[in-house]
A and B are shown apart, each in its own frame.
Chain A
Amino acid sequence: MKKIILIIIYSIFWKNFLKIFIGLKYVNEKTLKNKKQFILIANHNSHMDTMAIMSAIPSRYIHKVHPIAARDFFGGSLFKKILMRYLVNATLIKRDREDPENDPIDSMDKMLKKSRSLILFPEGSRGIPGVMANFKKGLGYLIQRNPEIKVIPVYLDNVYKTLPRGKNLILPYNCSIKFGDPIQFKSMEMEDILLSSEKAMENLKK
């Protein structure tokens, strides 16, 4: 049921809306085709980012892909929670790591162990357009615990212009979403992981 809803929303509605009306171009989205499980990391400037990425995911396993969202921002009311749960397929996590019972890394790790895929915005929150903030360490911990899962960089070029921060009117703008090849990590050191993923992102930007 959830799968059908997600396919209608993303693979049919958003995909065509973004392609025809907004002018979004999908570059190399075939790279996702034969991969069962992955972590997508993307730059984050607008709420359209999640929609753009979700619309590019093959409909066969769209119900197994979860964007990660902050509970303090998106889980404010019950209505919002249900919306996020069923229409975005999102997993809500706490941003602070004070409560050891509810460590965000643990909950993401659990999703991966259940053979789910994740969409992460390792910059943390919507940053300044065009400027890549340093990646958060959470990505590193997650990869250290699941070294076999492929990490695919996604670069959203100008997608934020269709819905900039603080605006609520979606307007067309010729933009593109670029998928890279899975990142090869030199070692499982925290620094190496963050550095090579940031580098993969910079390479996609060109």
Chain B
Amino acid sequence: MNKIFNSINLIPEIQWVIAIILGILVFATILFWFWNRIKPSKLVDEMQLRTRSWWIMCIIFLFASIVHPVVTYLALGFLSFLTLREVYSLLNLREVDRSVLFFCYLSIPIQYYFAFKGYYTLFLIFIPVFMFIIVPFLLVLTGETKDIIRSMCILPTSLMLGVFGISHLALLINFPEMNSNGVSGKALLLFLIFITEANDIMQFVWGKIFGKHKILPRVSPNKTWEGFIGGVISTTIIGCLMGFLTPLNTWQLIIISGSMAVFGFMGDAIMSAVKRDFGVKDMSNAIPGHGGVLDRVDSLSTTASPFFHLIYLILITS
């Protein structure tokens, strides 16, 4: 226990972010509390519920990310596990797929072990190369070919989103190149999660206030051009303001946070389409006000890997 807490050494930048996050939460809580006093409505109730969930998520996340890296790894691995469980519970897989699902779950500890050890190449190829061959073959071994193509597509793709994407967050913390020359992996992790979630919130807020022209009318009626453009612009500004967490210059910050906003929107849209196909509004009701775990991490699963590799490219070329 002591070992876990002794390893907390917060650089001033991270202390700043924690203060900012807690400040926003306090501000939102007070704002919605007064709003509810003055003009109660269903929207405010929902926002209060969401804020309460944000408190819990932020506290868990901050605790997990500032203590010993092993705790962070376990927490992120568990997040991957929750994501996979949600996908497999929703998607009505065949009963013969059960034995293959076991191997899909097994890939989580393996992938996070590679991230922990910093085996960069193995980490990169394990899921896109090996699991994309092994999982379909295991499905073949079950002997049941009816609807096999559906399972062959769902299982590797779920690994890609739930395990491969999210595990890049873990790789950020321990990667040697990310932790030298004044670069801190933890700070980069906080930066990525902050702008991804800020992007979600900004797109939601802009869409709610100014939204008129639907961007994906058949997939997600809540997404509008106004929300998208407003979200990208405000996320870019937020990214530049939070730039003290990264070793990047202003131009690089603009490119990275702008593209993260677009990637986050893509992840959101992909999951919206999947949900629409299955006729559900939320993946589950694990987080009050937000829906399922995957409803919250959908954008993170598509921003984590592009973010890591863009930063990596910038760091090794500069």
- Nearest-neighbour CB distance to chain A for B95, whole angstroms, equals 6
Contact A23–B95 (Cβ < 8 Å): no
Query: With A and B bound together, what is the CA distance between A158 and B89 in angstroms?
Result: 9
Does chain A have a CB within 8 A of B15? no
CA of A173 to CA of B86, assembled, Å: 8
Asked whether, in the complex, the Cβ of B102 is within 8 Å of the Cβ of A171, the reply is yes
When distances are taken between beta carbons in the complex, the residues of chain A under 8 Å from B284 are 174
**Residue-wise interface mask of A (134-167) relative to B, using a CB-CB cutoff of 8 A (1 in contact, 0 not):** 0000000000000000000000001001001001
B-contacting residues, A164-180, CB 8 Å = 164, 167, 169, 171-175
Contact string against A for B residues 90-124, beta-carbon threshold 8 Å, 1 for contact and 0 otherwise:
00000100110110010000000000000000000
Mark out the residues of chain B between 69 and 105 whose CB falls within 8 Å of any chain A CB in the assembled complex. 81, 85-86, 88-89, 95, 98-99, 101-102, 105
Chain B residues 245 to 291 lying within 8 A of chain A, measured CB to CB, are: 284, 286
| Beta-carbon contact of B99 and A23 below 8 Å | no
CB distance from A190 to the nearest CB of B (A): 37
B99 — which chain A residues lie within 8 A by C-beta? Answer: 169
Q: Do the beta carbons of B98 and A174 come within 8 Å of each other?
A: no
**What is the distance, in angstroms, from B274's C-beta to the closest C-beta of chain A?**
16
Expressed in whole angstroms, the minimum distance between the Cβ of A163 and any Cβ of chain B is 10
The one of B81, B88, B98, B286 in contact with A167, judged by C-beta atoms closer than 8 angstroms, is: B98
Residues on the B chain within 8 Å of A161, using CB? 89
Q: B294 CB to closest chain A CB, in angstroms?
A: 11
Contacting pair A171 B86 (CB below 8 A): no
Q: Report the interface size class on chain A.
A: 10 to 19
Interface magnitude class on chain B = 10 to 19
Residues in A83-128 with C-beta less than 8 Å from chain B: none
User: Within 8 Å CB of B88, what residues of A?
Assistant: 172-173
Contact partner of B85 (CB less than 8 A), chosen from A23, A164, A167, is A23
Q: Contact check, B102 vs A174: say whether CB atoms are below 8 A apart.
A: no
State the CA gap A158–B92 with chains docked (Å). Answer: 11
Residues B221-239 near A (CB distance < 8 A): none
A173→B102 contact, CB < 8 A:
no
- The 0/1 profile, CB within 8 Å of A marked 1, for residues 46-90 of chain B is 000000000000000000000000000000000001000110110
Which residue from chain B places its CB closest to the CB of A167 in the assembled complex? B98
CA distance A158 to B99 in the complex (A): 18
Task: Return chain B residues, CB-CB under 8 Å to A158.
Answer: 89
Chain B residues positioned under 8 Å from A171 (CB to CB): 98, 101-102, 105
Residues in chain B near residue A174, CB distance under 8 A: 85-86, 89, 284, 286
Chain A residues within an 8 Å CB radius of B89: 23, 158, 161, 173-175
Nearest chain A residue, comparing its CB with the CB of B286: A174
Q: In the bound complex, what is the Cα–Cα distance between A169 and B98 (angstroms)?
A: 8
Shortest distance in angstroms between B79's beta carbon and chain A's nearest beta carbon?
A: 13
What is the minimal beta-carbon distance from B244 to any residue of chain A, in angstroms? 37
Mask for A184-196, Cβ within 8 A of B = 1, else 0? 0000000000000
With both beta carbons as reference points, the residue of chain B lying nearest to A20 in the complex is identified as: B78
The answer to whether B102 touches A169 (Cβ under 8 A) is: yes
Bound: A36/B105 CA distance, A: 41
Query: Which residues of A (1-28) have their CB < 8 Å from a CB of B?
Result: 23
* Interface residues in chain A, defined as those with a beta carbon under 8 Å from any beta carbon in chain B: 23, 158, 161, 164, 167, 169, 171-175
List the interface of chain B (C-beta within 8 A of A). 81, 85-86, 88-89, 95, 98-99, 101-102, 105, 284, 286
A-B CB proximity, top 3 nearest:
A174-B89, A172-B85, A173-B89
- For the complex with contacts A164-B98, A174-B284, 5 further pairs of A-B residues with Cβ separation under 8 Å are A23-B85, A171-B98, A172-B88, A173-B85, A175-B89
